[in-house]
Structure 1
């Protein structure tokens, strides 16, 4: 087997990357136009590689969305809890123009950003009514291996 390369990062590179992510969060804000919603839904899709959050109104129209890759995270950093909290912060920047009303949260997937995203939403004083796990679960699974004949 080949050797694994260990990447050493400088503090300056990490700071530059952090500034880049913060500017992407600031850029993601939209025009100021106030809109009152009766209810809104947050859909959190968390995989082993990325976290994606979509916000819709009660009819299903997308108000805003964001992902870790959209904010500038690359590679394995996209699936981290820190990336998930950054996604929530960026989305709430975009959604400042909306009064979200009653909030429902739907979580799908098994990634690392799943719990962090829910915690970040709870900490932002939203009027959360429901948190529901909608991760698909297989009922039967794949076909079994054929029986051995001896």
Structure 2
């Protein structure tokens, strides 16, 4: 079994590495291009027991923004009411709840 060699960096290498780290940390974070006007869009609201997701898409289906309300959030109907109260014009609503059409067989009833 051989011995493991530990390579130690020189002072110049340590200084150069530190300058690279400082340069990377000092940069401003990149942000989006700012606000832009969207004439027609769709909002998809996915509401579960634990969370409410709202996705804003343009008419082509490209996602513009996405928001998660987190735990303890308002549910789907409350989210729609809050959007309408803020002046959003609602054209149509569609319930996309999955409904089984005689899919999987249900388990047998337990007999005790």
Q: Do these two structures clear the TM 0.5 threshold for a shared fold by scoring above it?
A: yes
1:46 aligned residue: 47
**Unpaired segments of 5 or more residues in structure 1?**
1-28, 70-77, 82-112
| Contact 2:51 2:69 (8 Å CA) reproduced | yes
Q: Name which structure has the greater RCO, CA cutoff 8 Å, separation 6+.
A: 1
Question: Over residues 93-135 of structure 1, what are the superposed CA-to-partner deviations in whole Å (9 max), with x where a residue is unaligned?
Answer: xxxxxxxxxxxxxxxxxxxx11110111111111211111111
- What is the alpha-carbon distance in structure 1 between the residues aligned to residue 50 and residue 86 of structure 2? 25
Superposed CA offset, 1:35-76 (max 9, x none): 342x2100000111111110000000001001023xxxxxxx
Structure 2: distance between partners of 1:145 and 1:33:
53
Q: How does 1:2-81 map to 2 (within 5 A)?
A: 31-37=33-39, 39-69=40-70, 78-81=71-74
Q: Which consecutive unaligned segments of at least 5 residues does structure 2 have?
A: 1-30
Q: In the superposition, relative to structure 1, how do residues 30 and 79 fare at CA in structure 2: closer, same or farther (>3 Å)?
A: farther
Which secondary structure state, in structure 1, belongs to the residue aligned with residue 92 of structure 2? strand
Greater than 2 Å deviation, 4+ residue runs: 29-37, 144-147
More strand by share: 1
Identify the structure with the greater helix proportion. 1
Larger Rg, first or second structure (1 or 2):
2
The two structures have a TM-score, normalised by structure 1, of 0.46
